[in-house]
Amino acid sequence: MSYPTPPSGGNPYGQPPPQSGWQPQGQGAAPVPPPMPAAPPGPPPAAAPAQPGPSPYGGYAAPPANHPVPGGPVPGGAVPGYAVPGGPVPGAPVPPSGGGRTGRKAFGIVLTVFGVLGMLGGGALVAHAYSNAQQVIPNQAYTSVVWRNETTEALFPETIGDPPNYTYEASDKKIAQWNRMGISEDTSCSKGLSGETKEKALELGCEAVLRATYVDLTGEMVATVAIVVMPKDSEAGSELGQYLEDQSGEDVPDAAVVPLKVPGTLAAKWQESRRNGMGGDPVGTYAVAVTTGAVDGRNSANLPGDFGEGVGTVEDRKPWMDEADALATTFGTHIMNLAR
């Protein structure tokens, strides 16, 4: 590229001479280079041919005009390769609003409900099976011979109490309500029972009477428990037990059991004249009879004034009767547990 010839005279480039400044010795003023001229405008870009050469898509049809071209701009100003935020990708089918999500949610709720119901049903089934496994199902064949095959220590445990549930045995010391004082060696029916109870038992075929004496945890109440052995394969045990239950409602009940005194214990002075209450319970081929009294020998007496009216008796016999019934029921449970 060439530059035009500078005009002669004055400043050849139209610039004013310097007013002051350092000038090199022995040399004239340094020439100032002319400004660079602007580049001439280039030719306009050639228009794209109406019919280009071979199609870049081979044998396939070119995409529609609004379809994003790889590497090129996307309608709406999005970046190529990414969906336009907040809207569908051009050309993609638009799903119905909310339909699929609602269906999936409803299906999930149904599955959850059935799953919970299945868990509850399974838990109930397991609990029922466990409960059945813990049920006391006596061996009927063994029940009638328990009194011969079990030891006296097993029949009359050291302590006894009413089990609160099936996880406890009546002999468990954790639930003890009565302490054993002694066990009788005499098993005679005529010596173990008294009054109408003895007559009824002998009439039904009494085979033996096993007795033991207990004192409650307070040390104030004493009781003799009798397991009356009746003929097996008969209703004698149930009949005698029913008789004893009926006696519990009488104003003057039968004394039922002969007290067993145990020297050297709280039951050393326990005798017939100190009996205050009785109770009974049928247990298969057996009948359990109980007589209760006070350790200090106090007898039930007439209640003063209005206290003795309207209760079926004028004596304070009820507490003794209730304790006798409860102890008879506890021993009934204990015998059935031994027969499992």
Please give the C-alpha separations between residue 225 and each of 117, 174, 184, 246, 281, in angstroms, as whole numbers.
Answer: 51, 21, 10, 18, 11
- The answer to whether residue 134 scores a pLDDT higher than 50 is no
Q: Would you place residue 110 in the very low, low, confident or very high pLDDT band (cuts 50, 70, 90)? A: low
| 190-197 average pLDDT score | 94
Per-residue pLDDT band at 209 (split at 50, 70, 90):
very high
Say how many C-beta atoms besides its own lie within 10 A of residue 187's C-beta.
15
* Cα 335 from Cα 241, distance rounded (Å): 14
Q: Is the pTM of this model over 0.85?
A: no
| Per-residue confidence (pLDDT) for residue 141, from 0 to 100 | 74
Sheet containing strand 178-183, strands side by side? 159-160, 178-183, 208-216, 221-229, 286-294, 275-283
Q: What is the mean pLDDT of the chain?
A: 75
Helix (H) or strand (E) holding 291: strand 286-294
Look up residue 57 and give its two tokens: 């898509």
